[in-house]
């Protein structure tokens, strides 16, 4: 008998539309001969499932079920592809834990930690991972232009410490840009990260592990003519993504080994993606860890799966079956 899978998307941040696109990607990747799939869309308290006839049915939040043709349908597994709250920060994971419904990604602690870029990077720094100089502002806090310049320097990045997809991110080059950038970042999240700029090559590496195996994907090199890898670069094609990256065998091995180690340090589950900047002297610097990476047609993970000579359907099956 086929297991019934919920592909859970939507959420309550600016990444809502990106999440819907990821859900369509995952729907196309999962083997429909093995699983019965439904897309579940969440926005605030509006939780509904997309029905085969094009209609919608409300989700009963008491047990994460819905009614179809007069019968109750429950789920065996949830593939979470919400980028942002409540699916990337541990909240939805806690809900599914209470209902004993297995899911695709990190548990509550790892999800909450990695969702906060500042907290995650500072935590990994203790284990010897190189990171940029940074500081964090929380809602209600402020900082002078002079303190930013003295402590972090210019240029720098000012961005939400929570979330992704480059919403609310500014590359700040002048003193006059600092305060508007902070306001812009606070419009997206309650914490703002001010981070030193690092000149170098941006790369990203995906990884997943099961009870039987550890898989680290080929590395992707990110080349954009934009100021940084912003939303247009990510989703509107203003970027060159080279997989495998043009790196030496030694540097490739170091990055893949570090990615695997970060996975274990965090106690990750499912697929993660780790972004880095390689600076002068082949120094590998962590940018951020993404435990719910994008899975659209143009996303990094599907590219890396293909470059590894793997079938994305097999990878999806690994993720699902590892929870049973």
Give the CATH number of the domain where residue 150 resides: 3.30.1490.20
User: For position 230, what pLDDT does the model report?
Assistant: 47
Is 138 inside a domain boundary? yes
Let me know whether 63 and 205 are in one domain: no
User: For position 164, what pLDDT does the model report?
Assistant: 57
Let me know whether 115 and 206 are in one domain: yes
Let me know whether 114 and 213 are in one domain: yes
Is 224 inside a domain boundary? yes
Per-residue pLDDT, averaged over 14-36, amounts to 94
Angle at 190 between CA 187 and CA 196, to 5 degrees: 85
Mean pLDDT of all residues belonging to the chain: 93
Per-residue pLDDT, averaged over 275-301, amounts to 93
Let me know whether 258 and 121 are in one domain: yes
User: For position 8, what pLDDT does the model report?
Assistant: 98
Enzyme catalytic residues: 15, 165, 299
Give the domain range for residue 233: 110-129+198-309
**ω into 274 cis (within 30 of 0):** no
pLDDT at 13 over 90: no
Let me know whether 144 and 22 are in one domain: no
Let me know whether 121 and 97 are in one domain: no
User: For position 233, what pLDDT does the model report?
Assistant: 46
Determine contact, residues 206/272, Cβ cutoff 8 Å. Answer: yes
Q: What is the pLDDT of residues 102-121, one digit of tens each?
A: 999 999 999 999 999 999 99
Let me know whether 144 and 97 are in one domain: no
Let me know whether 2 and 98 are in one domain: yes
Is 315 inside a domain boundary? no
Let me know whether 119 and 92 are in one domain: no
Give the whole-angstrom CA distance, residue 49 versus residue 36.
13
Give the whole-angstrom CA distance, residue 76 versus residue 280.
48
Determine contact, residues 132/120, Cβ cutoff 8 Å. Answer: no
Overall number of domains in the chain = 3
Is 319 inside a domain boundary? no
Q: What is the pLDDT of residues 193-240, one digit of tens each?
A: 999 999 999 999 999 999 999 999 999 999 976 565 444 544 455 578
Q: Which residues of 104-138 are buried (b: 16+ CB within 10 A; e: fewer)?
A: bbbbbebbbbbbbbbbbbebbeeeebbbbebbbbe
Angle at 220 between CA 25 and CA 29, to 5 degrees: 20
Let me know whether 248 and 150 are in one domain: no
Q: What is the pLDDT of residues 30-87, one digit of tens each?
A: 999 999 999 999 999 999 999 999 999 999 999 999 999 999 999 999 999 999 899 9
Is 317 inside a domain boundary? no
Given 194, 215, 234, which residue is the final one in a domain?
194
User: For position 81, what pLDDT does the model report?
Assistant: 97
Let me know whether 8 and 92 are in one domain: yes
Q: What is the pLDDT of residues 118-158, one digit of tens each?
A: 999 999 999 999 999 999 999 889 999 999 999 999 999 99
Is 209 inside a domain boundary? yes
Given 103, 121, 145, which residue is the final one in a domain?
103
Confidence of residue 320 (pLDDT cuts 50, 70, 90): very high
Binding residue numbers for Mg(2+): 275, 288, 290
Let me know whether 60 and 170 are in one domain: no
CATH of the domain at 279: 3.30.470.20
pLDDT at 297 over 80: no
Q: What is the pTM for the complete model shown? A: 0.91
Coil/strand/helix, residue 25: helix
Q: Helix 312-321 vs helix 300-307: angle between axes, to the nearest 10 degrees?
A: 110
CATH of the domain at 83: 3.40.50.20
Is 324 inside a domain boundary? no
Is 227 inside a domain boundary? yes
Give the whole-angstrom CA distance, residue 40 versus residue 111.
20
User: For position 43, what pLDDT does the model report?
Assistant: 96
Given 103, 119, 145, which residue is the final one in a domain?
103
User: For position 29, what pLDDT does the model report?
Assistant: 96
């Amino acid at each position: 008998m086929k297991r019934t899978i919920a592909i859970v998307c939507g959420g309550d941040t600016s990444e809502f539309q990106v999440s819907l696109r990821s859900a369509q990607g995952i729907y196309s990747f999962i083997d429909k001969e093995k699983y019965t799939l439904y897309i579940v869309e969440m926005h605030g308290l509006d939780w509904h499932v997309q029905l085969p006839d094009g209609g919608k049915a409300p989700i009963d939040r008491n047990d994460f079920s819905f009614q179809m043709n007069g019968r109750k349908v429950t789920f065996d597994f949830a593939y979470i592809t919400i980028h942002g709250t409540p699916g990337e920060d541990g909240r939805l994971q806690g809900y599914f834990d209470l209902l004993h419904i297995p899911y695709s990604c990190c548990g509550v602690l790892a999800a909450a930690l990695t969702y906060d870029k500042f907290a995650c990077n500072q935590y990994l720094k203790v284990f010897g991972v190189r990171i940029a100089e940074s500081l964090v502002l929380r809602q209600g806090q402020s900082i002078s232009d002079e303190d930013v310049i003295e402590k972090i320097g210019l240029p720098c990045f000012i961005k939400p410490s929570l979330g992704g997809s480059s919403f609310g991110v500014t590359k700040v080059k002048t003193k006059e840009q600092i305060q508007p950038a902070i306001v812009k970042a606070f419009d997206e999240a309650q914490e703002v990260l001010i981070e030193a700029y690092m000149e170098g090559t941006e790369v990203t590496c995906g990884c997943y592990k099961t009870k039987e195996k550890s898989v680290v994907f080929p590395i992707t090199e990110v080349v954009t003519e934009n100021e940084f890898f912003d939303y247009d670069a990510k989703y509107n094609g203003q970027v060159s993504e080279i997989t495998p990256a043009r790196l030496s065998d030694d540097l490739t091995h170091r990055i893949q080994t570090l990615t695997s180690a970060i996975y274990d340090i965090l106690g990750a589950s499912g697929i993660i993606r780790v972004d880095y900047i390689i600076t002068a002297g082949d120094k590998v610097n962590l940018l951020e860890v993404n435990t719910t990476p994008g899975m659209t047609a143009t996303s990094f993970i599907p590219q890396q799966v293909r470059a590894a000579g793997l079938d994305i359907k097999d990878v999806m099956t690994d993720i699902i079956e590892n929870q049973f």
